[in-house]
Structures are given as C-alpha cells and as structure tokens.
Amino acid sequence: MHNIQPWWKTGVIYEVYVRSFQDSNGDGIGDLAGLTQRVPYLAGLGIDAIWISPFYQSPMRDFGYDISDYCAIEPIFGTLDDFDRLVATAHAHSLKVILDFVPNHTSDQHPWFVAARARRDSPKRDWYGWHEPGEDGGPPNNWLSIFGGSAWEYDTCTNQYYLHTFLKEQPDLNWRNPGVKAAMFDTMRFWLDRGVDGFRVDVIYALLKDDFFRDDPTNLKFRPGDNPYESLRHDNSLESPDVHDLLREMRELLDSYDGERVLIGETFHLSTLERFVSYYGKNLDECHLPFNFQLIMRAWDAQTIRAFVEEYEQVLPIGAWPNWVLSNHDQHRIATRAGSLAQAKLAQMLLLTLRGTPTCYYGDELGMSNVPIALEDERDPFGIRVPGQGRDPERTPMLWDSTPYAGFSTVKPWLPLTDGWQDLNVAAQQAEATSILTLFRALVALRRALPTLHIGSYATFACTPSSVFAYLREHGGERVLIVLQFGAEPCVIDTAVLGVRGEVLLSTYLDRIGSIPLDQIQLRAHEGLIVRLA
Ligand code: NOJ
Ligand code: CA
C-alpha cells in the first residue's frame, strides 16, 4: 500500500543523548563521529529518525543546554565536518535527523549576553530579561528557577536583575525583542540549510512571559518532597498566550523548506491537557508534535494508562496527530519505573502499538535501568542544587558489547555503566532469541509492515481483569487487538465478541505465533500480545 502520510506520523523517533552514545576518541565522552559509527545499528533497529541532544558550543554547565554559539560545534563533540558526515550517513541509511533547538536561554558566556551585561545602554541589553530590584531591594517578583531558588540573579556590574528560568548561567532571551527573533530564526535556517529534518524545541512553553512580570500564585497541590519549583503555579512565568503567534512563525519557517521538516515542542510543565493540545495550534499550524509526557508522569498501572489514553484521544483536536514518550534524558527510565524486565518489554509493546508517533530513548531497547549515582559523584547541576532531582541515572553510557567499558569508550566513561552490562549489551542481546532487543526490533518491524499499527484508529477493548489494558487498532478492514497484562498473575480474557479465530503476531515472550481460538485468550505474567483478528 502506498504510504501518503508524512514520515513523522508513521515513523519511530529515537532520542540519542550524544554524550553517552559512542565515544570515538578515547576521552570517555560520546561524540558526533561515534554516533556516525553507530548509524548502521540505528538503521538496523528499523527506526526512522534520530533526535540528537545539543552538541553546540557550550561551557557545559547544563551539559549543552547552555549554548555560547548556536552555529558552532562544541569541540568535545567534534566539528562541523563531523556533523555533515553524520547527516550524510544518516540520510544514506534513510534516517531523518532532528536537532535539539534551545531558544529560551543562552549561556552566560554567549557574546550576546557578555555584551548585554556590560552596560545598561548596550544594544544587546534588551535581548535578555533585565529588571530593577523589587521595592524591598530583592528580586523583581517571586518567580522561581526550575533548577532551584529565585529565577532572578542580581548583577553587580550594572545593578539590575536578569531572569533565568534554569541556571544563572542560562539567562533567558527576550523573545519580544525583534532582534532576538531574527537572530534565532537565522540559526534555525543555518541548520535547515545544512539538511536537518526538523527540531525538537526546548521549553517551548517558556519562550514568552507575562508582560507585566506579575507574581506567580501559590500552588495548593504542592506536597512536601516535590521539587520546590512546584510550590508556585507558573501562570505568569510560563505559558504566555502570545507564544502561539511565535510558534506559528517558527512553523512557517520550517514549512518554507522542502521535504517534511518537523517541529516538535517540549511541552512539559503545562497546567492542563487542554493547554497542552493548544500547542498544535488552532489551525494545526504550530507544533506537529507537542511531546506527550503523560506515560512518564502517570503511575505504571493498566487502568491509569487506559484512562489517560482515552482522555487524550478525546481532547485531541481534529486532525492533530498523537505521540507518546516513555523515557528521556530528564526522566527516570521506564525499566526502573515499571519495575522489571518483563514490564519493560510490555512497555515497549505499549509505546510501539498505541496510535501516534513513538519517541524511544536510547538504551530502553536493551531494558537499561537507572544507574544509582552517589551524591558526591553527581554531575547534573539540577541534582547538585536540588537533592533527589538528579538526571545522571538515566544518562549513563550505551552498552554495546562485553569489551571493557561496554564498547562505549576505551577509558572510564563520564558516568558509570549499568550493573550487569556484560549481559545486557547489544552484542549479547542480539544473539538471544527472546531478549528485549529482539522484541524491540520485531515490534518496530511489525509496526512498519502493518498500516493498521502505524495509521489505524484506536478503540479501547473493555475487558477484565483490571490489570489488563486492551485495545483495537483498525485500518482498511484489518483489525488488530493488543492485550497487555500489567499484573504478575496469569489471566484469561474473554474475547468471544471479537470473532472465532485470531492470529498471534507477537508475544512479549517471543515464543508464540499463529492461529488461536478467540473464545478466550490466556496471558502469562506481564505478557503482551498482538493478535490480528480474522
Ligand atoms: C529541558 C531539557 O530537556 C533539559 O535537559 C534542560 O536541562 C532544560 N530544558 C534547560 O534547557
Ligand atoms: Ca569523545
């Protein structure tokens, strides 16, 4: 069947945290040349696109999310030639390349900020959020930094405060200034002209703030132990309604290029589901895919997930395309959250069979779990400033083989390896018929082969016990049932209403395929099944 849908709807996106994917020059840190070496592996997984974490010039205070030159490559990661080779190699393997674009803030070492900070009358001054102290001489308002403390830093150089939603080394740009917009759109063009297939845009919901810098209200849902940032609602510091005008312009820029260049928004701290879907745009003219993080935020429980999938399907504007994320470089890995390898397998079946574009996180195809990091070894500034919030555990090196340092590097890597890496690595799992890696490849292949799985409709299949989440995908007369047993008990599902016989296409156990009677379906502990209905 001819595929007329754009690739970002039918395809699978895979996030590469470049620092931890493959080191090519023996410094213990992953780089672009290393990633290029691993393109055949990525193509072999059957995925369609890679999203690469930031590799631009950076003092690395927030590991690349603090950029001092948007059009240069950080030497740790390589050169522009390395980048061009990566894009050419990826494209030669039919893989799209999505860059991480970080427009909300620069590094404090960016020449724009250096100039802005030097003098109140600097032409670059208004490119950032400068403000007089509040009446008591303290910060201008009560806004908080996501990474701890006030969002305002007093600068003795010119005796004003500047705004930083993240670290004080990450000053927020003022997107209301036309010069900022023009300069940042130019940086997008720079990469689009070099052939990239789209952007994942960092904290897209934070780009514009309340014009009057009004205080944020108290969050009555705040609980002890939550990130102190959550003690306020961010009605004024985030989600300014006019951000949508800006996003439309960004989308126009992407649409002015040939090919289907994708705009993905990082939509995280959003107050409601309605607000979240507003990032598609009223006329679907903003983000193609505002990241849906709800599988990360909600409990790993069949009924919780079923309820959310239904709610999301209901609230999506007509024509808006869904998407799903299980893990990323900011959140605990799914194998850890779900609690076992069997559940990690189930989670991959969920991710790759729901309606909408899946984004996978490197290493999840191996069932990698969080690596505990002692407080004194922590590298992530968030974890160092706000205990318990560290993101190092989910950023550890990819496990390639059983040579020293798992084939990631020839020296001790910047973060430690997962315990048990000798058995968990790609080479070991490749040789194993029932490994999670084998399952992952089978799921991606099946999803590609069956239009029902990549573009079909979704409907919940109501059944008991409550530990099971089941749904039907349908397209062009073909019906596929997915049944997922979240519980640890074997169970029996009554499926007689679906017909007489079905064909098992895949089990998370990878040990059964073929025709089965449909009067009832038996599931083992944490088993997931994909069944084509006759
Ligand atoms: C979201 C990114 O995913 C995270 O890693 C980063 O620290 C913040 N934005 C700041 O850029
Ligand atoms: Ca390196």
pLDDT of residue 2: 47
* Residue-by-residue DSSP string for 483-530: EEE-SSS-EEEE-GGG-SEEEEEEETTS---EEEESSEEEE-TT-EEE
- Report the SS3 class of residue 125: helix
**pLDDT tens-digit map of 407-463:** 999 999 999 999 999 999 999 999 999 999 999 999 999 999 999 999 999 999 999
Q: Are 171 and 233 in contact (CB under 8 A)?
A: no
What's the 16 CA to ligand 2 centre distance in angstroms?
Answer: 15
Catalytic option among 66, 108, 202, 365? 202
d(CA 446, CA 452) in angstroms, rounded, equals: 10
The b/e string for 19-45 (b: 16+ C-beta within 10 A; e otherwise) is bbbbbbeeebbbbbbbbbebbeebbeb
Q: List, in sequence order, every beta strand (DSSP E) within 132-261.
A: 152-155, 160-163, 198-201
For a pocket test of ligand 1, which of 100, 147, 202, 395 has the largest count of ligand atoms closer than 8 A to its C-beta? 202
| Number of neighbours of residue 518 by Cβ within 10 angstroms | 20
Q: Whose alpha carbon is nearest atom 3 of ligand 1? A: 330
What's the 212 CA to ligand 1 centre distance in angstroms?
Answer: 26
As residues whose CB is below 5 A from the ion ligand 2, the structure lists: 23, 25, 27, 29, 31
Q: Whose alpha carbon is nearest atom 11 of ligand 1? A: 65
Q: Are 313 and 355 in contact (CB under 8 A)?
A: yes
Sequence spans of domains, the chain? 2-101+178-295+322-444, 111-163
202 is catalytic: yes
pLDDT of residue 3: 53
Closest CA to 321 of 7, 69, 9, 20: 9
What's the 147 CA to ligand 1 centre distance in angstroms?
Answer: 10
d(CA 35, CA 24) in angstroms, rounded, equals: 8
Give the residue ranges of the chain where pLDDT is below 70: 1-3
| Number of neighbours of residue 181 by Cβ within 10 angstroms | 18
d(CA 226, CA 523) in angstroms, rounded, equals: 37
Q: Is the torsion defined by CA of 18, 24, 27, 32 positive or negative?
A: negative
Is the peptide bond prior to 465 cis by the omega test (within 30 degrees of 0)? Answer: yes
The CATH class, in words, for 111-163 is alpha beta
pLDDT of residue 225: 86
* HEC string for 428-488: HHHCCCCCHHHHHHHHHHHHHHCHHHHHCEEEECCCCCCCEEEEEEEECCEEEEEEEECCC
Query: How would you list the strands of the sheet with 528-533, edge to edge?
Result: 457-460, 468-475, 478-485, 528-533, 501-507, 514-517
What's the 4 CA to ligand 2 centre distance in angstroms?
Answer: 40
For a pocket test of ligand 1, which of 330, 379, 380, 384 has the largest count of ligand atoms closer than 8 A to its C-beta? 330
The Cα-based distances of 390 to 126, 367, 419, 511 in angstroms read 33, 20, 19, 39
Task: Report the DSSP beta bridge partners of residue 96.
Answer: 49
What's the 387 CA to ligand 2 centre distance in angstroms?
Answer: 29
Catalytic option among 15, 48, 216, 266? 266
The Cα-based distances of 392 to 62, 294, 395 in angstroms read 12, 21, 5
What's the 412 CA to ligand 2 centre distance in angstroms?
Answer: 11
Spatial neighbors of 193 by CB under 8 A, at least 6 apart, are none
Closest-lying ligand 1 atom to the alpha carbon of residue 330: 5
Place of tokens 């430690």: 416
Q: Whose alpha carbon is nearest atom 8 of ligand 1? A: 65
Spatial neighbors of 383 by CB under 8 A, at least 6 apart, are 373, 389, 390, 391, 392
d(CA 187, CA 169) in angstroms, rounded, equals: 21
Whether 65 is in the pocket of ligand 1, judged by its Cβ within 6 Å, is yes
Q: Are 59 and 45 in contact (CB under 8 A)?
A: no
Report the topology of domain 2-101+178-295+322-444. Answer: TIM Barrel (3.20.20)
How much helix, strand and coil, in percent to the nearest 5, is found in the chain? 30, 20, 50
527 is catalytic: no
In single-letter form, the type of residue at position 87 comes to V
Q: Is this prediction's pTM over 0.75?
A: yes
Q: Are 251 and 287 in contact (CB under 8 A)?
A: yes
Q: Whose alpha carbon is nearest atom 4 of ligand 1? A: 330
